[in-house]
């Protein structure tokens, strides 16, 4: 001990060691301090989302609408960011950390399907048609058992470039998609859409695009088979999508009871669907609806009423009604109907029924093919005129209850992704459902942010320039603190 004490005294009395040792200790202290500051900053950033979003569009920052929504959460929500081996979307991950910092109800977990493959089956039922992939976001609420799977398509919006003929990336909708999904899974009761099955209607694989649109709009979709004991809820509309077989008498009675309780119908009847289904026809006649046999084809000389050189692809004229007024005001009236069926507008209708045409063709004729011919050209005896291809019916029952039916003669525009992106079909679909449902789904007023970087201005570059200039100054200051004690060596 005496020798060690003597050695320290020698070092203390040694002038070179005093100066050099101080520098070494100062350097070591600076390194430790930097490490501690880094660890503390990382912990604080994750806890309070203190990182500044310097991106030109602020896509990784939530706004006041999201903060208000998160503050009102009364259920825990878990966000599983499924990240591929090559790395995840840094912009999305940064935004998710801000959500977790803004609400104790939100938990973010980064996952990998390689390490946790059970995610693919764990959320398959709760998420509906959406599949868990290696680069997606799972928004889950354990209390409600509801989940949403969001992919890159949910976060990006494209616009059509007339010069190139392609769709270009226009904006990002990270905040809107994630916040709406959180509110959707955490809601105790969400708007539902029932789809009738058991009569040769379109299958789930055929209506995948339709159901995906409804799911993206925060509707919960479920299929109902009355013959198998399924029950209808009059609070939620019922879709009848191109049936091929008739209702039983018992099912007809159930549908009429559904209508008398205020239930509403969204019906598709295509030109190829049979018209000899007596019970279905009885249901439609109760609402004053009668379909034409055959296909509506535009007359070639009325070129504005059909698409390109295809008179069977109609471009109908949207009529003003309660259900279409907002669409017309927004200019969302461009629709394409392929090989459509038309519906009669009778001179007289029952006193308890009111009919409103929604979509009307230009000059056209109906090719009913009753002569066995496959010719599309107009034949003698084919009825001609301007036909209704989408119709709205209101029926009032004796107790004052009103049931609504929307019926249209073609399903293609709801099942074709090109038509969804190039026409107003999605806006039309959702507006018809809102008008029938009377209940708004989760739809927040959060604007997407642009994906195109604007030209640099002084305001854009002020903060980066200041930070860049300060870094070498900080290095010089640190060097001065280290070298100052050595100035006389």
pLDDT, greater one: 251 or 21 = 251
| Cα gap 207→420, rounded to integer Å | 13
Q: Is the pLDDT of residue 289 over 90?
A: yes
CB-CB contact of 179 with 66 (8 Å)? yes
- Separation of alpha carbons 150 and 214, rounded Å: 14
Lookup: tokens for 84: 């591929």
Q: What is the CATH number of the domain that holds 331?
A: 3.40.50
When divided into structural domains, the chain yields a total of 3
Q: What is the mean pLDDT of residues 273-291?
A: 94
* Contact yes or no for 113/134 (Cβ under 8 A): yes
Is 326 within a domain?
yes
Residue 194 has pLDDT above 70, yes or no: yes
**Per-residue pLDDT at 121 exceeds 60:** yes
Do 182 and 171 lie in one domain? The reply is: yes
Summarize pLDDT for 467-481 with one digit per residue, the tens: 677 777 777 776 677
Residue 417 confidence class, pLDDT cut points 50, 70, 90: confident
Answer whether residue 448 is part of any domain. Answer: no
User: Token pair for residue 281?
Assistant: 């026809």
Q: Which of 82-91, 155-164, 185-194, 320-329 has the lowest mean pLDDT?
A: 155-164
What is the bridge-based pairing of β-strands 364-367 and 295-298? antiparallel
Whether residues 369 and 254 fall in one domain: yes
Position 410 pLDDT exceeds 80: yes
Same domain, 122 and 30: no
Question: Is there a domain that residue 237 lies in?
Answer: yes
424 with 461, same domain: the answer is no
In a domain, 268, yes or no: yes
pLDDT at 62: 73
pLDDT, mean of residues 240-254 = 96
Residues 116 and 21 in one domain: no
Environment class of 357 (CB within 10 Å of its CB; exposed 0-12, middle 13-18, buried 19+)? buried
Using alpha carbons only, give the angle 349, 351, 355 rounded to the nearest 5 degrees.
45
Q: Cβ(358)–Cβ(309) under 8 Å?
A: no
Note whether residue 249 is domain-resident. yes
Is 450 inside any structural domain?
no
* Listed ranges 11-20, 236-245, 361-370; the one with the highest mean pLDDT: 236-245
Are 423 and 465 found together in one domain? no
Residue 459, pLDDT score: 55
Is it the case that residue 83 has pLDDT exceeding 90? no
Average pLDDT value over all residues in the chain: 83
**Which of 4 and 389 is assigned the larger pLDDT?**
389
199/301 same-domain check: yes
203-242 burial, b at 16+ Cβ within 10 Å, e below that, comes to: eeeebebbbbbbbbbbbbbebbebeeeeebebebbbbbbb
Mean pLDDT of 124-149: 82
pLDDT band at 202 (very low <50, low <70, confident <90, very high): very high
Cα angle 164, 166, 169; round to 5: 115
Overall average pLDDT of the 19-44 stretch? 67
Residues 229 and 364 in one domain: yes
Please say if the pLDDT value at position 5 is more than 70: no
pLDDT band with cut points at 50, 70 and 90 for residue 128: low
Q: Are residues 228 and 250 in the same domain?
A: yes
Q: 266 - beta bridge partners?
A: 239, 406
Compute φ and ψ for 15, nearest 5 degrees.
-65, -40
Confidence of residue 152 (pLDDT cuts 50, 70, 90): confident
Is residue 201 located within the same domain as residue 180? no
What CATH number is given to the structural domain containing 68? 3.40.30.10
Can you give the residue range of the structural domain that contains 373?
189-437
Spatial separation of the C-alpha atoms in residues 234 and 231, rounded to whole Å: 10
Residue 445: inside a domain, yes or no?
A: no
Q: What pLDDT is stored for residue 45 in this prediction?
A: 57
Residue 382 contacts by C-beta under 8 Å, 6 or more apart in sequence?
A: 365, 366, 367, 368
How far apart are the C-alpha atoms of 196 and 202, rounded to whole Å? Answer: 9
User: Do 70 and 163 fall within a single domain?
Assistant: yes
Number of Cβ within a 10 Å radius of residue 155: 22
Residue 475 forms part of a structural domain: yes
Q: Which residue has the higher pLDDT, 8 or 133?
A: 133
Average pLDDT rounded to a whole number, residues 5-20: 58
The predicted structure's pLDDT at residue 379: 84
pLDDT digits (tens, 9 = 90+) for 370-386: 666 677 888 888 899 99
**Do 180 and 193 lie in a common domain?**
no
């Amino acid at each position: 001990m005496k020798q060690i004490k003597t050695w320290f005294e020698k070092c203390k009395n040694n002038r070179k060691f005093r100066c050099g040792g101080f520098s070494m200790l100062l350097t070591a202290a600076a390194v430790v301090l930097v490490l501690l500051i880094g660890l503390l900053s990382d912990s604080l950033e994750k806890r309070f989302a203190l990182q500044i979003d310097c991106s030109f569009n602020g896509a990784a920052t939530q706004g006041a609408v999201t903060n208000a929504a998160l503050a009102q959460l009364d259920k825990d929500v878990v966000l599983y960011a499924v990240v591929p081996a090559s790395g995840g979307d840094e912009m999305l991950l940064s935004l998710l950390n801000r959500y977790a910092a803004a609400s104790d109800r939100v938990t973010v977990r980064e996952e990998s399907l390689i390490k946790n493959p059970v995610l693919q089956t764990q959320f398959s039922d709760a998420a509906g048609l959406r599949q868990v992939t290696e680069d997606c976001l799972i928004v889950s609420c354990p209390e409600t058992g509801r989940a949403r799977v969001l992919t890159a398509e949910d976060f990006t919006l494209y616009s059509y470039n007339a010069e190139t003929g392609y769709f270009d990336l226009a904006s990002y909708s990270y905040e809107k998609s994630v916040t709406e999904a959180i509110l959707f899974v955490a809601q105790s009761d969400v708007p539902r859409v029932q789809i009738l099955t058991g009569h040769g209607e379109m299958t789930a694989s055929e209506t995948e695009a339709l159901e995906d649109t409804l799911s993206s709009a925060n509707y919960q979709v479920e299929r109902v088979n009355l013959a198998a004991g399924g029950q209808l809820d009059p609070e939620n509309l019922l879709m009848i999508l191109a049936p091929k077989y008739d209702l039983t008498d018992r099912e007809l009675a159930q549908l009429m009871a559904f209508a008398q309780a205020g239930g509403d119908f969204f019906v598709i009847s295509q030109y190829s669907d049979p018209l000899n289904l007596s019970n279905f026809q009885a249901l439609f006649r109760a609402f004053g609806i009668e379909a034409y046999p055959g296909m509506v084809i535009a007359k070639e000389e009325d070129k504005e009423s059909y698409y390109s050189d295809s008179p069977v692809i109609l471009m109908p004229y949207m009529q003003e009604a309660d259900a279409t007024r907002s669409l017309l005001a927004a200019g969302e009236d461009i629709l394409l109907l392929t090989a459509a069926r038309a519906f009669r507008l009778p001179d007289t209708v029952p006193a308890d029924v009111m009919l409103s045409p929604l979509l009307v063709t230009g000059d056209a004729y109906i090719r009913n093919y009753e002569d066995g011919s496959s010719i599309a050209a107009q034949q003698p005896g084919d009825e001609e005129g301007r036909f209704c291809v989408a119709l709205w019916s209101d029926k009032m029952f004796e107790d004052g209850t009103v049931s609504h039916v929307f019926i249209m003669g073609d399903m293609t525009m709801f099942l074709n992704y090109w038509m969804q992106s190039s026409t107003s079909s999605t806006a039309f679909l959702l507006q018809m459902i809102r008008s029938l449902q009377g209940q708004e789904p989760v739809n927040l007023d959060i604007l997407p942010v642009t994906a195109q970087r604007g030209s640099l201005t002084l305001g854009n570059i002020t903060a980066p320039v200041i930070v860049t200039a300060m870094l070498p100054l900080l290095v010089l200051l640190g060097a001065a603190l280290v070298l100052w004690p050595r100035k006389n060596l």
